[in-house]
């Protein structure tokens, strides 16, 4: 089955710096790659996603890049702010069975933005 | 603007007890999902439901059952709780016939002694 590896597990940056989180996946059939942000005591919240027919997508300070040949995708956060501190999860969807995308998640990256 | 609502938020059980976790969404979504999250792990899919009346197993279904009661509600049942089922459980839903962003509830924190 699909396996998603996420690095690093923890990341500490200074406010205003950029942060990059990387994920690799194993199933070449995966075609949907969302990123989620999880704050303490809350459920994951989608922040950006990309499908395999595009290589990059941006939304203000957040961008995701996808390299299907190498089977990896990355989250880029620019001009980080303390409120960006959270746990970030990547995911990949290897199948679309029975009318649902079945996501496989990475183990998460705890991002700390120091003021 | 509730989105996905999970009840209860916290629960402590003894080994062998049974319990049902409730989930309801008000976004008219077709697909619903149950995940568990353990420390240092990502989210792992337990069961999902593509539409009302259908359910299917995910990655870690053993020890659980589900019911898609109607389009809004998807419940997760532990028939005989075990300490290994201590976890945070998240329910999610998605539109676009399952091809779309999954919206999560805030979880049920379950401890089994």
For residue A99, pLDDT beyond 80: no
Distance from CA of A84 to the nearest CA of B (A): 19
For A107, the 3-state DSSP assignment is coil
Closest to B34 in 3D by CA, of B5, B69, B58:
B58
Tokens of A106: 């990475």
Give B97 or A1, the one with higher predicted confidence. A1
CA distance A19 to A113: 9
For position B97, what pLDDT does the model report?
Answer: 62
Tell whether omega for the bond before B8 is within 30 degrees of 0, i.e. cis. yes
At A51, which helix (H) or strand (E)? strand A45-51
A66 Cβ under 8 Å from any chain B Cβ: no
DSSP tag of B47: E
pLDDT tens by residue, B52-111: 888 999 999 999 999 998 999 999 999 999 999 999 999 999 986 656 789 999 999 999
Distance from CA of A79 to the nearest CA of B (A): 26
> Which B-chain residues 69-98 have CB contacts (< 8 A) with chain A?
90, 92, 94, 97-98
CB contact under 8 A, A98 and B33: no
B103 Cβ under 8 Å from any chain A Cβ: yes
A101 Cβ under 8 Å from any chain B Cβ: yes
Q: What is the mean pLDDT of chain A?
A: 92
A47 Cβ under 8 Å from any chain B Cβ: no
Q: What separation in angstroms does the CA of B46 have from each of A33, B12, B60?
A: 20, 20, 5
CA distance B7 to A109: 27
CB contact at 8 A, B26 and B74: no
CB contact under 8 A, B42 and A108: yes
Confidence tier at B50 by pLDDT (50, 70, 90): confident
pLDDT tens by residue, A14-64: 999 999 999 999 999 898 899 999 999 999 999 999 987 778 999 999 999
């Amino acid at each position: 089955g699909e396996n998603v590896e996420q690095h690093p597990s923890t990341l500490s940056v200074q406010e205003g710096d950029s942060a990059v989180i990387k994920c690799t996946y194993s199933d070449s059939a995966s075609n949907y790659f969302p990123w989620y942000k999880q704050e303490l005591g809350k459920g994951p919240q989608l922040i950006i996603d990309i499908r395999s027919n595009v290589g990059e997508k941006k939304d203000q300070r957040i961008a995701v890049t996808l390299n299907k040949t190498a089977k990896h995708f990355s989250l880029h956060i620019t001009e980080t702010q303390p409120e960006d501190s959270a746990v970030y999860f990547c995911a990949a969807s290897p199948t679309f069975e029975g009318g649902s995308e079945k996501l496989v998640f990475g183990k998460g990256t705890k991002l700390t933005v120091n003021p | 603007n509730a989105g996905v609502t999970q009840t209860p938020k916290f629960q402590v059980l003894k080994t062998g007890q049974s319990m049902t976790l409730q989930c309801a969404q008000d976004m008219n979504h077709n697909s619903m999902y149950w995940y568990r999250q353990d420390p240092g792990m990502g989210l792992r899919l337990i069961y999902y439901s593509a539409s009302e009346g259908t359910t299917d197993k995910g990655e870690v279904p053993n020890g659980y059952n589900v019911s898609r009661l109607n389009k809004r509600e998807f419940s997760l049942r532990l028939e005989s709780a075990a300490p290994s089922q201590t976890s945070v459980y998240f329910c999610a839903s998605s539109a676009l016939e399952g091809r779309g962003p999954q919206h999560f509830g805030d979880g049920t924190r379950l401890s089994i002694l």
